[in-house]
Amino acid sequence: MMQLLNLAFQTEATTLENGVAQATELASEAIQQSGGASHLILLLTVFVLAVFVGVEIIAKIPPTLHTPLMSGSNAISGITLVGAILAAGGDNGTWASILGFSAVVFASMNVVGGFVVTNRMLAMFKTRK
Amino acid sequence: MSPDLIDLFYLLAAILFIIGLKGLTKPRTAVKGNLLGSLAMLIAVVATMLHQDVLSVGGLLIAMAVGSVVGVVLALKIEMTAMPQLVALFNGLGGGASVLVAGAYLAGKEFSGKVASGNSFADVLTATAASGLIGAITLSGSLVAFGKLQELKFIKDISFPGQKLLNLVLALASIGFGYLVATQPQHAELWFWLMTITSTALGILLVISIGGADMPVVIALLNSYSGLAASATGFVLNNNLLIIAGSLVGASGLILTRIMCDAMNRSLWAVLFGTMQGGGKALSADEVYTNVKSTSADEVAMMLEVAQTVLIVPGYGMAVAQAQHAVRDLTNQLLGKDINVLFGIHPVAGRMPGHMNVLLAEADIDYDRLKEMDEVNSMMDQIDVAIILGANDVVNPLARTDPDSPIAGMPIIDADKARTVIVIKRSLSPGFAGIANPLFSADNALMLFADGKQAIVDINKALQEG
């Protein structure tokens, strides 16, 4: 009798355990799926908000600084360097590495050259008082 | 370094980019703004190098060193007059990097793992396609712009019948291949590179038929594209910093593009796909130039002597003649004689937004003397002598008076309303718009036919002797 009860209890426990495990699995899957979809929305949100920030900041730029703004923002667009480092640095095989390393060279030219030339230009914009 | 910590550093970098860009909008804070931007980039790069997946640190450092050295040498050696080319070149490199990163993603292990798992991930693939497409247009378009600005011989203004149709076909093909990248992960790499080829061709064809005075629009637009390409790469790699920095640049480029278009009273569409609208009944040069009076450097010097306020309106011709240092000497001499000197800068003067300002700043001319179009126009009645140096269409009064002219409605500097106008020009040849300029034969205008730099030097000499 005792044994039977024990067995029943065990079975119940295991089914319960299984159930919980199954539920957790289902839940995490659901989260992953919905997380996948909403993640894109999250990235889009960041993108759109950043565009608005950009517009707000730049809207009143004086024409005097159009060229330095362009070359400076151009250097910032070299942020692809971060992506290039991730692409080149990983263990991804020869072809991917070749592409990645070329990207690193291109992007670092863009970044470093861009900031240096902007600095050079801006240094000239001084009022003599 | 843990991914969360790296993301926090990315957040810090994003904030610094925003503050840095804000700094770039005021002359006083601009130098600091640029430094903040480069600091942000340094933080981002160092944090990325500490990512657990980044293995070949040594190789990366070498690659970055190579790129940096080339970049620094170019940045320090370049003549200020060649600035538009350099900006175009750097722009193209950024676009090229986006193409390569997207390509590397498709060739990498993470991607092949995802394909093997059979899950759908069309969102990432769409971003990859966008990154490649925009990046390739940016790359090839910028390189063509570079070639045109550098006046490389093998790049000519090419336009042929059916060009618009071919552009349309290439655009549709690029989008079609992009769609295949997103929907057929197994063959994504093949479709990706085919798409890169068609969009590279599209970039070349779009820019090759765009002429000189429209260059500021093109450069600003390509600047915007390079940012958007970086943003798209951010969607591929799931990286917020790329998205934020890229969209900031995209937005700033778009604003500049709009400013440039407004300053020419042309739509972006007309710049990219059309030529100038054909003028209805444009007057021929012979009809317009009935009253041209030419003058000499000595005569100009005498007029300047008795002037109180002198306005100089520079254009691309000043850059070509490298006249900015001579202009500085003239300015200083006039200031020494208590004659006020101002500069009227049209927004699209030159080949890039702000081109004239950079040249005059290089020659050490106080930027407080550089006045915007509206400001100059409001005080034109106080100008005794206006010197037009290498500018043409931006001072053509037809923009105000002739509604049929190709430049009708374009805001101009009203130099014709100054008491006396001196036009320094080699000949009576038309500007980019290809129309005659009635200013040259106006009653209050005198032509000084000479090379821009030589003319200013001669006026200077005459002033010294007089």
Looking at residue A64, its pLDDT comes to 86
**Which residues in B lie closer than 8 A to residue A110 (C-beta atoms)?**
67, 71, 90-91, 93-94, 97
- Cα–Cα distance measured from residue B417 to residue B421, given in angstroms and rounded to the nearest whole number: 9
Q: Can you say whether residue B459 is alpha, beta or left, with left for phi > 0 and alpha for psi between -120 and 50 degrees? A: alpha
Looking at residue A1, its pLDDT comes to 45
Average pLDDT score over residue span A101-115? 96
* pLDDT (tens digit per residue) in A59-81: 888 888 999 999 999 999 999 99
* Fold of domain B285-465: Rossmann fold (3.40.50)
Tracing tokens 């990645």 back to the chain, one arrives at: A100
Looking at residue B27, its pLDDT comes to 86
Return the SS3 of A6. Answer: helix
The residue in chain A having the minimum alpha-carbon distance to the alpha carbon of residue B104 is A96
Looking at residue A12, its pLDDT comes to 46
Statement to judge: residues A14 and A41 lie in one domain: yes
The total number of structural domains that make up chain A: 2
* Identity of the residue in A68, A86, A89 whose CB atom sits nearest the CB atom of B30: A68
Give yes or no for a contact between B349 and B317, defined as CB atoms under 8 angstroms apart.
no
> Within an 8 Å CB–CB cutoff, is residue B233 touching chain A?
yes
Statement to judge: residues A76 and A39 lie in one domain: no
* Identity of the residue in B40, B94, B107 whose CB atom sits nearest the CB atom of A80: B94
Question: Last residue of a domain, which of A36, A60, A84?
Answer: A60
> Within an 8 Å CB–CB cutoff, is residue A38 touching chain B?
no
Residue A6 has pLDDT above 50, yes or no: yes
**Which residues in A lie closer than 8 A to residue B40 (C-beta atoms)?**
76
- Cα–Cα distance measured from residue B92 to residue B248, given in angstroms and rounded to the nearest whole number: 18
* Identity of the residue in A59, A87, A127 whose CB atom sits nearest the CB atom of B101: A87
Tracing tokens 């008082």 back to the chain, one arrives at: A129
Domain of A30 in residue numbering reads as 1-60
From chain B residues 92-131, the ones with a CB under 8 A of any chain A CB are 93-94, 96-98, 100-101, 103-105, 107-110, 123
* Cβ distance of A115 and B231 shorter than 8 Å: no
Task: Please list the pLDDT of chain B residue by residue as tens digits (466 residues).
Answer: 788 999 999 999 999 999 999 999 988 899 999 999 999 999 999 999 998 888 888 999 999 999 999 999 999 999 888 889 999 999 999 999 999 999 999 999 888 888 888 777 888 999 999 999 999 999 999 999 999 888 887 766 677 778 888 989 999 999 999 999 999 998 999 999 999 999 999 999 989 888 767 888 899 999 999 999 999 999 999 999 999 999 999 999 999 999 999 888 888 887 777 554 444 455 677 778 888 899 999 999 999 999 999 999 999 889 889 999 999 999 999 999 999 999 999 988 888 888 899 999 989 998 889 999 999 999 999 999 999 999 998 999 988 988 888 788 889 999 999 999 999 998 888 877 778 899 999 999 999 999 999 999 999 999 998 7
Q: Which of B4, B7, B157, B393 is catalytic?
A: B393
> Within an 8 Å CB–CB cutoff, is residue A35 touching chain B?
no
* Cβ distance of B238 and A43 shorter than 8 Å: yes
Q: How confident is the model at residue A14 (pLDDT cuts 50, 70, 90)?
A: very low
Interface residue of A70, A95, A98, A120 to substitute, partner B, most B CBs within 10 Å: A70
Statement to judge: residues A45 and A85 lie in one domain: no
Question: Last residue of a domain, which of A42, A60, A78?
Answer: A60
Looking at residue A32, its pLDDT comes to 53
* Cβ distance of A70 and B220 shorter than 8 Å: yes
Statement to judge: residues A50 and A66 lie in one domain: no
Looking at residue A29, its pLDDT comes to 55
The residue in chain A having the minimum alpha-carbon distance to the alpha carbon of residue B258 is A59
Distance from CA of A19 to the nearest CA of B (A): 26
Looking at residue B114, its pLDDT comes to 85
- Cα–Cα distance measured from residue B26 to residue A2, given in angstroms and rounded to the nearest whole number: 86
The residue in chain A having the minimum alpha-carbon distance to the alpha carbon of residue B244 is A50
Statement to judge: residues A33 and A96 lie in one domain: no
- Arithmetic mean of pLDDT over chain A: 79
> Within an 8 Å CB–CB cutoff, is residue A63 touching chain B?
yes
- Arithmetic mean of pLDDT over chain B: 90
Give yes or no for a contact between B310 and B345, defined as CB atoms under 8 angstroms apart.
no
**Which residues in B lie closer than 8 A to residue A70 (C-beta atoms)?**
87, 219-220, 223, 252-253, 256, 352-354
**Which residues in A lie closer than 8 A to residue B255 (C-beta atoms)?**
55, 58-59, 61
Statement to judge: residues A56 and A66 lie in one domain: no
* pLDDT (tens digit per residue) in A27-57: 455 445 544 557 888 999 999 999 999 999 9
Give yes or no for a contact between A46 and B10, defined as CB atoms under 8 angstroms apart.
no
Q: Is B384 a residue of the active site? A: no
Give yes or no for a contact between B300 and B420, defined as CB atoms under 8 angstroms apart.
no
- Cα–Cα distance measured from residue B72 to residue B74, given in angstroms and rounded to the nearest whole number: 5
Q: How confident is the model at residue A5 (pLDDT cuts 50, 70, 90)?
A: very low
* Cβ distance of A71 and B37 shorter than 8 Å: no
* pLDDT (tens digit per residue) in B372-400: 999 999 999 999 999 999 999 899 998 89
Statement to judge: residues A67 and A56 lie in one domain: no
Looking at residue B70, its pLDDT comes to 96
Looking at residue A4, its pLDDT comes to 47
* Cβ distance of A67 and B353 shorter than 8 Å: yes
* Identity of the residue in A80, A92, A114 whose CB atom sits nearest the CB atom of B230: A80
**Which residues in B lie closer than 8 A to residue A76 (C-beta atoms)?**
17, 20-21, 37, 40-41, 227, 245, 248-249
Q: How confident is the model at residue A8 (pLDDT cuts 50, 70, 90)?
A: very low
Statement to judge: residues A33 and A74 lie in one domain: no
* Cβ distance of A127 and B368 shorter than 8 Å: yes
Looking at residue A22, its pLDDT comes to 56
> Within an 8 Å CB–CB cutoff, is residue B357 touching chain A?
yes
**Which residues in A lie closer than 8 A to residue B259 (C-beta atoms)?**
63, 66
In the DSSP assignment, the letter for residue A90 is: S
SS (H, E, C) chain B: CCHHHHHHHHHHHHHHHHHHHHHCCCHHHHHHHHHHHHHHHHHHHHHHHCCCCCCCHHHHHHHHHHHHHHHHHHHHHCCHHHHHHHHHHHHHHHHHHHHHHHHHHHHCHHHHHHHHHCCCCHHHHHHHHHHHHHHHHHHHHHHHHHHHHCCCCCCCCCCCCCHHHHHHHHHHHHHHHHHHHHHCHHHHHHHHHHHHHHHHHHHHHHHHCCCHHHHHHHHHHHHHHHHHHHHHHHHHHCCHHHHHHHHHHHHHHHHHHHHHHHHHCCCHHHHHHCCCCCCCCCCCHHHHCCCCCECCHHHHHHHHHCCCEEEEEECHHHHHHCCHHHHHHHHHHHHHCCCEEEEEECCCCCCCCCHHHHHHHHCCCCHHHEEEHHHHHHCHHHCCEEEEECCCHHHCCHHHHCCCCCCCCCCCCCHHHCCEEEEEECCCCCCCCCCCCHHHHCCCEEEEECCHHHHHHHHHHHHHHC
The ipTM, to two decimals, is: 0.87
* Cβ distance of B249 and A54 shorter than 8 Å: yes
Question: Last residue of a domain, which of A41, A60, A79?
Answer: A60
Looking at residue B402, its pLDDT comes to 85
Statement to judge: residues A35 and A89 lie in one domain: no
> Within an 8 Å CB–CB cutoff, is residue B379 touching chain A?
no
Q: Give domain limits for chain B.
A: 78-273, 285-465
